[in-house]
Amino acid sequence: MGFIEYVKKESIIHNLDCRVKFTLFISLIASIFLIDSVVYYVILLLFVFVIAYLSKIYNPFVKRIKLFIPFSLISFLLWTIFYGNNYQRIFSNAIINIGYILSNIPIGVKMALRVFLLFSIPLLFFMITSPSEIIYSLIRFGLPYKVAHFFGMAIRMIYVMGDEYDRIKQAQMARGLEVDKGNLVKRIKNNVPIIVPLTLKGISLVDDLTIAMEMKGFSLNNKKTIYHDFKFDKLDKLFLILSIGILTIGIFLKIKWI
Amino acid sequence: MSLIKLENLWFRYKDRWIIKGVDLDIKEYKVYCLVGPNGCGKTTLAKLICGLLKPQRGNVFVKGVNTKEVSVKEIVKHVGYIFQNPDSQFFLNKVKDEIEFAQKMLNKYLDKNTYNYFLRILGIDKLLDKSPFNLSVGEKMRVAIMSVLAYDPEIIIFDEPTLGADGDTYKKILHIIKQLKERKRCIILISHDINLIDSIADYVIPMKDGRVFGIIRKNEFFGILDDIYELESHILLRTSGKWVS
């Protein structure tokens, strides 16, 4: 586990205000859907790499996004071959119409990049933003304290369950279970001895957590305060303008194209 | 031939080295106690021995076989590992099925008489048809121990077996370890329990900060207790109720 884990580093990106990071994340994701252009996707990809470099997490980031390449390749093939929903054009007289497929390559490339970006941007966001920062920013955006807290709790649970999965897997491997062996059906079957204790453990963890939170007065309806205070500096403002700029251009282009 | 041989073993988790150059050679079928402060790498070392973790540097040989070269299944046929938290392994409806799970997986069976005898010693012969999820902590621990003993491994690692155990469970666990000792099994016991070490161990393997001090006799160990725990040893000994300084 630890794939989307927060990587603690002292960098200008890590030190950005969490609200700015959140806005940037939302506007980048939105712009992927708003701006439909290969050139933009390439620029965005370069931008993502620059951010990763500035956050001093370039190497672990690149190592992790390599795993998304197969997904991108699959979407490239699917879009190139099946785009247009016109099977008669793909198979003319039982022979594959190469010309038609080749004409779809630009769309295939675009979709592959889009899928790649849709995976890598959230990964980058989670690698540079700690779960508590996400909760703070949601509260500052006006979300009720409890709702924001549950959102953060759900993110935290991913790490906890990941660790728990590893522990249970080791316990079953010590009893002779071979999890990563055999065909797909066998592998799914092999995971049953892990999934059952994991589910039970998950329920008991949530139960324990609820009791612990109740003990600390979480359900009281008084106003909650935050220990950390966040201040906007010049760099925060720059990134905020950048995010809003990207979003505005995206919306503008979308309206123009429609 | 060595039962377990560790050669310049290094293991890293993320950026931190947890095991730092451990050399160890275990040749006899005796009871070895792995002791040291929390977080010094005892459990990691145990997992390295049974092949669940692979070292970044150095080698682990179990009965002459390098753990890097064979699957975990091949190693656990010889090395039984009883986890600290037995809760995390139960998934079947009956205690009996849980106990037989490893037997079937590894196709290795303890002879019937000894099997029944061990069931009686551990006091779980009456629990066989119950659900493992409804048992007490002590009972769960005993079921976990039995599920490993059922396939008769030659080397057995107990990871804090008496943690949170009541007097009855404690006695039963002590009894079973003595029985295993008589039957010439190599036992590695991870424990902080001075009483348990005194009553059962032949040798002690002190550990500190990812390093091992070698294999020493039990009596010598009590002399260096201060250095390992950085505590006044007489406090520990006094709490054990056996010695008063």
ipTM: 0.84
Instruction: Give the pLDDT confidence of B208-241 residue by residue, as tens digits.
Output: 888 888 898 888 887 777 666 665 554 455 444 4
According to the model, what pLDDT value does residue B233 have?
53
Residues 149-178 of chain B whose Cβ lies under 8 A from any Cβ of chain A = 151
**Mean pLDDT confidence for B73-92:** 88
Closest Cα in chain B to A2: B14
According to the model, what pLDDT value does residue A92 have?
59
Decide if pLDDT at B98 tops 70. Answer: yes
Picking from B52, B91, B148, the nearest residue to A196 by CB comes out as B91
Contact B3, B29 (CB under 8 A): yes
Shortest distance, CA B107 to any CA of chain A (angstroms): 9
Shortest distance, CA A201 to any CA of chain B (angstroms): 7
**Mean pLDDT confidence for A149-165:** 84
- Asked if the Cβ–Cβ distance from B91 to A177 is below 8 Å, we say no
DSSP assigned state of A224? P
B11 inside 8 A of chain A by CB: no
According to the model, what pLDDT value does residue B244 have?
39
State the Cα–Cα distance between residues A60 and A7, nearest whole angstrom: 9
- Asked if the Cβ–Cβ distance from B89 to A164 is below 8 Å, we say no
A60 inside 8 A of chain B by CB: no
- Mean pLDDT (chain A, rounded): 85
A56 inside 8 A of chain B by CB: no
- Asked if the Cβ–Cβ distance from A197 to B147 is below 8 Å, we say no
- Asked if the Cβ–Cβ distance from A197 to B91 is below 8 Å, we say yes
State the Cα–Cα distance between residues A101 and A71, nearest whole angstrom: 20
B97 inside 8 A of chain A by CB: no
Sign of torsion over alpha carbons B177, B178, B184, B188: positive
Token pair, residue B30, equals 């005796």
What are B103's strand-pairing partners?
none
According to the model, what pLDDT value does residue B243 have?
43
Give which of A128, A151, A125, A127 is closest to A138, Cα–Cα.
A151
Instruction: Give the pLDDT confidence of A210-224 residue by residue, as tens digits.
Output: 899 889 888 887 777
Per-range mean pLDDT, top range of B146-150, B165-169, B204-208: B146-150
A137 inside 8 A of chain B by CB: no
- Asked if the Cβ–Cβ distance from B102 to A176 is below 8 Å, we say yes
Confidence of residue B162 (pLDDT cuts 50, 70, 90): confident
**Mean pLDDT confidence for A81-86:** 71
- Asked if the Cβ–Cβ distance from B91 to A175 is below 8 Å, we say no
Cα separation values, A74 from A63, A78, B111, Å: 20, 6, 53
According to the model, what pLDDT value does residue A85 have?
59
In B122-218, the DSSP E strands lie at 155-159, 186-190, 203-208, 211-212, 216-217
B90 inside 8 A of chain A by CB: yes
Grouping H, G, I as helix, E, B as strand and the rest as coil, residue B190 is strand
Token pair, residue B99, equals 């106990």
Closest Cα in chain A to B90: A197
Residues 196-235 of chain B whose Cβ lies under 8 A from any Cβ of chain A = none
B137 inside 8 A of chain A by CB: no
Token pair, residue A140, equals 């500052």
User: What type of residue sits at position A85?
Assistant: N
Decide if pLDDT at A171 tops 50. Answer: yes
Q: Which of A95-99, A205-209, B78-82, B143-147 has the lowest mean pLDDT?
A: A95-99
User: What type of residue sits at position A78?
Assistant: L
In B120-163, the DSSP E strands lie at 155-159
Confidence of residue B176 (pLDDT cuts 50, 70, 90): very high
- Asked if the Cβ–Cβ distance from B89 to A171 is below 8 Å, we say yes
- Asked if the Cβ–Cβ distance from A175 to B89 is below 8 Å, we say yes
Instruction: Give the pLDDT confidence of B119-154 residue by residue, as tens digits.
Output: 999 999 899 999 998 899 899 999 999 999 999 999
A177 inside 8 A of chain B by CB: yes
Picking from A2, A168, A192, the nearest residue to B88 by CB comes out as A168
Cα separation values, B155 from A50, A129, B22, B101, B174, Å: 53, 46, 19, 19, 17
- Asked if the Cβ–Cβ distance from B76 to A167 is below 8 Å, we say no
Give which of A177, A162, A68, A72 is closest to A122, Cα–Cα.
A68
Write out the DSSP string of A37-73.
Answer: -HHHHHHHHHHHHHHHHHTT-HHHHHHHHGGGHHHHH
Domains of chain B: 4-240 (3.40.50.300)
A193 inside 8 A of chain B by CB: yes
Phi, psi for residue B10 in degrees, rounded to 5: -130, 135
According to the model, what pLDDT value does residue B26 have?
92
According to the model, what pLDDT value does residue A87 have?
61
What are B34's strand-pairing partners?
B190, B205
Closest Cα in chain B to A180: B71
Shortest distance, CA B80 to any CA of chain A (angstroms): 7
Confidence of residue A5 (pLDDT cuts 50, 70, 90): confident
Cα separation values, B174 from A76, B156, B178, B196, B237, Å: 63, 14, 6, 8, 19
Decide if pLDDT at B188 tops 70. Answer: yes
Q: Which of A61-65, A85-89, B65-69, B175-179 has the lowest mean pLDDT?
A: A85-89
Instruction: Give the pLDDT confidence of B6-44 residue by residue, as tens digits.
Output: 999 999 987 789 999 999 999 999 999 998 888 889 999
